């Protein structure tokens, strides 16, 4: 469907478009397990919101907008990711999560 050069140019373009955001996204990603171990419900809810935002962003941002241009089935998978991200957001609103024990957080 496409060659290796097209795939490489896709990731180059993606990194050029999202360049300053990696400086924010990487620390937030590393903070999610820490947030899930906190005893307060607000931290765990924020962690689930961050996961939902990342899920929606990868679906709409990468699969639909970038990868969908060179691989048409990726668009359908992208919208499935968006739907799953919205379900994760509903989970953050409706469910009360328990803190993960510190011994299992590393796993």
Contact assessment for residue 88 and residue 55, using Cβ atoms and an 8 Å cutoff: yes
Burial of 63 (C-beta count, 10 Å sphere; 0-12/13-18/19+):
buried
- Answer yes or no: is pLDDT of 104 > 60: no
Contact assessment for residue 68 and residue 39, using Cβ atoms and an 8 Å cutoff: no
64/23 Cα distance (integer angstroms): 23
Per residue in 50-103, pLDDT tens?
999 999 999 998 889 888 888 889 999 999 999 999 999 998 888 776 666 665
99/37 Cα distance (integer angstroms): 5
Amino acid 106: pLDDT: 53
- Answer yes or no: is pLDDT of 24 > 70: yes
Amino acid 46: pLDDT: 92
Amino acid 55: pLDDT: 94
């Amino acid at each position: 469907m496409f060659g290796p050069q097209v795939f490489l140019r896709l990731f180059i373009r993606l990194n050029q478009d999202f360049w300053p955001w990696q400086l924010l996204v990487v620390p937030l990603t590393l903070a999610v397990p820490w947030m899930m171990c906190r005893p307060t419900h607000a931290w765990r809810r924020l962690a689930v919101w961050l996961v939902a935002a990342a899920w929606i962003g990868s679906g709409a941002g990468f699969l639909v907008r970038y990868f969908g241009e060179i691989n048409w089935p990726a668009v359908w998978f992208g919208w499935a990711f968006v739907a799953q991200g919205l379900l994760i957001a509903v989970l953050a609103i409706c469910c009360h999560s328990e803190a993960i024990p510190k011994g299992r957080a590393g796993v």
